[in-house]
A and B are shown apart, each in its own frame.
Chain A
Amino acid sequence: DAKTTQPPSMDCAEGRAANLPCNHSTISGNEYVYWYRQIHSQGPQYIIHGLKNNETNEMASLIITEDRKSSTLILPHATLRDTAVYYCIVSGPNTGNQFYFGTGTSLTVIP
C-alpha cells in the first residue's frame, strides 16, 4: 500500500546536511507527506509533515516540490544519533488517514 519510493540507503558525514529524497508521483490533492524515523530497536518516531508548503521544526525541514510529486527531508546538521531508517509516507482521506510504511531509507551518519 506504500505510495512512495525512497533510496534504500544513504551515507552522510557528521555535521553535514542530510538530504533524503522521496518520490510520491501519485499523491492526491488532499494527501499529506509525513516523515518518520526508526532508530534501531525502537518504535518509529514522528519527524514532520506537510501538504504543499515547506515546513520546518526543531528536528528537520521538509521541502515539497511545486507539483507535489516529490519531497526532500533535510537534517541540517546530521549527528551520529540521526543514524536510522527514515520513512516517507503519504496519508489522507483516500487511505483512511492511515500510515502505510514502505521500506524507507537507511541513513548512516559517518564520523
Chain B
Amino acid sequence: DAGVIQSPRHEVTEMGQEVTLRCKPISGHDYLFWYRQTMMRGLELLIYFNNNVPIDDSGMPEDRFSAKMPNASFSNLKIQPSEPRDSAVYFCASSPGQGPNTGELFFGEGSRLTVL
C-alpha cells in the first residue's frame, strides 16, 4: 500500500485566499484524522471521521476551517479565507479502527502551508 497520500506538499498563498488540502487514506481504514502542527502549539487534532462521517470537530479553530470526506478514499480540509496565523504543517492520518488492537495511526507526509 502507498500509505496516506497528501497534496500539495507545499502551498504558499496570500492572505484571504482559499486553501484546499487533500488526503487519500489507506484503503480499508475506517478512520481519518486531520492534525495541525506549529512550533507554538505542537500537534493538534482538528477533526476526525469514521466511515466518512465527521465525529468530532471540536479542534477546528474557527469557522474559516471546514473538512469533508465525500467518500472512503478522499478527504479535504479547506481554509477560507486564509490568514498568516494558519501557517503550519497539516497532517492527515488514517487508522483501521479505534482502540489498542486497531487504532494505530498512519500519518501522511504533511502539507506545509505558508500564508503571506
Provide the residues of chain A in CB contact with B56, threshold 8 Å: 96, 98
Tell which of B45, B93, B98, B100 touches A43, judged by Cβ atoms closer than 8 Å.
Answer: B93
Stretch of A14-22, A44-52, A63-71 lying at the B interface = A44-52
In the assembled complex, the Cα of A45 lies from the Cα of B109 at a distance in Å of 10
Question: Contact: A43 with B42, CB < 8 Å?
Answer: no
In the assembled complex, the Cα of A101 lies from the Cα of B4 at a distance in Å of 19
**Given A42-B109, A44-B105, A96-B56: A49 and B100 within 8 A (CB)?**
yes
Max chain B CB contacts within 10 Å: which of A32, A41, A97, A102?
A97
In the assembled complex, the Cα of A32 lies from the Cα of B42 at a distance in Å of 21
Say if the beta carbon of A103 comes within 8 Å of chain B: yes
Say if the beta carbon of B25 comes within 8 Å of chain A: no
In the assembled complex, the Cα of A32 lies from the Cα of B108 at a distance in Å of 23
**Given A32-B100, A51-B100, A96-B56: A45 and B107 within 8 A (CB)?**
yes
How many cross-chain pairs have Cβ atoms below 8 Å apart between A and B? 44
Question: Contact: A97 with B98, CB < 8 Å?
Answer: yes
Tell which of A32, A36, A103 touches B105, judged by Cβ atoms closer than 8 Å.
Answer: A36
Number of residues of chain A lying within 8 A (CB) of chain B: 21
Provide the residues of chain A in CB contact with B4, threshold 8 Å: 43
Please encode chain A, from 81 to 102, with 1 for each CB lying within 8 Å of some chain B CB and 0 for all others.
0000001000100001111111
In the assembled complex, the Cα of A12 lies from the Cα of B15 at a distance in Å of 43
Residues of B within 8 A of A (CB): 4, 35, 42-43, 45, 48, 56, 91, 93, 98-100, 103-110
Using A43-B109, A101-B35 as known contacts, list a sample of 7 further A-B pairs with CB atoms less than 8 Å apart, ordered by residue number in A: A42-B107, A43-B110, A44-B43, A45-B107, A46-B104, A49-B104, A51-B100
